[in-house]
Amino acid sequence: MSKERVTVQDIADSLGLSRTTVSKVLNGAPNMPSHTISAVLNKAREMKYKQFSYIQAIQNIGKEDFPPKGGTFALLANFLPEHFHIASAIIASLEQEISTYGYSLTIHMLKPGDIASLQLPPNFRPEQADAILAIEIFSIEYSRMLASLGKPLLFFDSCYHPEAEPLDANILLMESRNNVFRMLSHVLSRERIQHMGFIGDYKHCISFHERYEGYKDALTLYNLPYEEQYCITQDDFLFQKPDFLEVELKKMNKFPDMFCCANDLLAWKTISALKSMNLEVPGDILICGFDDTAVLNAMDSPLTTVTTPSQEMGIMAAQILLSRVNNPSLPPSTVYLNSKVQIRSSTDGNLRQVTAISG
């Protein structure tokens, strides 16, 4: 008789790892070895750990279109810790969806240097995969290399290179530009905002660029100037440095009324840097993010943001690739899933005014 509820300790015992190690992997802790992450994720799926339960609400989408066949989908991941919760939910729903049609999912973690050297993970055999999925891979050269393998391929978000020839691959995105515009329009129509900056490398990936475009759209509609001095848009790798944002913020002679950040992690890093400078959100500056990151945002999170449909993305990715596997002549496509704006207190100008009066 199988155990009804699988625990972190069960996964740890089955792998010969400590409970702490398994817990760190499942919660997206930084600096975990790639082989450990892969082993824990695969075991969690195999044992049907709670994070890897299926989303019943939309389990019947398109079931009649693809008869059970069997095979393997391979997922290549270049995880950043801050995106781990999204990847976890994607993997959960993706694996369950393809298993309905007899396919299994293998997970392959890229090691540092693999992307620069255009190397595939050593345990990945392209000839054994019916389709390939890629998470957090934003190198145009590596993306082209994966496309050259001749397998149905899907990227969850992708590199931003508008001048390059389109990839022979599917791309799945959350709707970013319009949602950032709607989020900012909600704030700007209610608050006295004269200056607004953007934080994030808008050339990092398609979604970051589209969020940047949504920010500029809002500036245009509300007749606000684009002011470079209030924007921090250097290369994404610089934002990984612990003190980078604080150093950049201190270079500003004065601050804007509001910062729009490319994702929640950048928003929280900005809030932390401002706090170290004795500035509060929303008391001194309003701020918003994107993703509604569960690992960062508590249920009562004050951060205005946009919720990413990560579980639905896993299901849609499966459906797209199943279509390509069963109909190889289908052209690749770019698909957007709708997101939902969450207006919260980090953009509440009334709280800002109250703080200013009490101060």
Gyration radius of the chain over CA positions: 21
pTM exceeds cut of 0.85 = no
pLDDT category at 57 given cuts 50, 70, 90 is: very low
Look at phi and psi of residue 113 and say left if phi exceeds 0, alpha if psi is from -120 to 50, else beta.
left
Model confidence at 301: pLDDT above 80: no
The amino acid that residue 226 corresponds to is Y
Stretch 98-105: mean pLDDT, rounded? 92
In order of 16, 20, 22, 52, the CA distances from 10 in angstroms are: 10, 12, 10, 15
Does the structure show a pLDDT above 50 at 88?
A: yes
DSSP annotation of 336: E
| Predicted confidence (pLDDT) at residue 274 exceeds the cutoff of 60 | yes
State residue 2's pLDDT score.
46
Q: Can you tell me the mean pLDDT for 146-152?
A: 96
Calculate what percentage of the chain has a pLDDT beyond 70: 85
Segment 98-127 shows an average pLDDT of: 92
In the numeric block, the tokens 């989908």 are attached to: 73
Ordered domains of the chain (ranges, CATH): 8-174+311-337 (3.40.50.2300), 177-307+342-358 (3.40.50.2300)
| CA–CA gap between residue 235 and residue 79 (Å, rounded) | 18
> In the beta sheet, which residues pair with residue 132?
74, 153
303-345 tens-digit pLDDT: 999 998 888 999 999 999 999 999 998 899 999 999 999 999 9
What is the distance between the alpha carbons of residues 329 and 323, in angstroms, rounded to a whole number? Answer: 10
**According to the model, what pLDDT value does residue 55 have?**
32
**In degrees rounded to 5, what are phi and psi of residue 162?**
-65, -20
pLDDT at 50 (0 to 100) = 62
